């Protein structure tokens, strides 16, 4: 399925809007994500920081976990927006890989401009996927 420029911009806009709800009292680096499933449903997420830093949750994973909790596991595209168009962390890349290496990933900046487009496969070469857990026969 082809994703139009307008659809991509709409996801960037949704992620940028979600970013306003991020809980970032420590880093002051709000991140928003908007994930579209293959059924067309959209789930947003924001980063949620914690005084115990390792307990912080990234926006991408929040959106993915919301989708999974609603029964959606077939993803098409995710937009991630930060102030400066930053890239998803390694943990988020691994979680995205769990649900498909061909998922399109958009990076956007705080002005709502798309700055990069890629796929999970390109973000995480030689990803460890569920297929690696299948025992050899």
Give the ranges where 1-137 is alpha helix by DSSP (H): 5-19, 59-69, 90-98, 120-123
What gap in Å lies between CA 135 and CA 16, rounded to an integer? 42
Q: What is the DSSP letter of 137?
A: -
Residue 5: which of 117, 100, 96 has the closest Cα?
A: 117
Q: For the chain, report the end-to-end CA distance as a whole number of angstroms.
A: 35
Catalytic residue among 49, 60, 72, 76: 60
What gap in Å lies between CA 108 and CA 33, rounded to an integer? 10
What gap in Å lies between CA 34 and CA 40, rounded to an integer? 12
Q: Is 131 a known active-site residue?
A: no
- Catalytic annotation, residues: 60
């Amino acid at each position: 399925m082809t994703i139009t420029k307008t659809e991509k911009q709409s996801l960037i806009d949704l992620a940028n809007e979600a970013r306003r709800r991020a809980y970032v009292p420590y880093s002051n680096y709000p991140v928003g994500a908007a994930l579209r499933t293959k059924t067309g449903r959209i789930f947003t997420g924001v980063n949620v920081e914690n005084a115990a830093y390792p307990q912080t949750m990234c926006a991408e994973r929040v959106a993915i976990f919301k989708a999974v909790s609603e029964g959606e596991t077939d993803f098409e595209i995710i937009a991630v927006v930060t102030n400066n168009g930053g890239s998803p962390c390694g943990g988020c890349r691994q979680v995205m890989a769990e649900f498909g290496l061909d998922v399109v990933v958009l990076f956007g900046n705080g002005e709502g401009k798309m700055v990069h487009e890629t796929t999970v496969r390109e973000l995480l070469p030689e990803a460890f996927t569920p297929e690696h857990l299948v025992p050899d026969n």
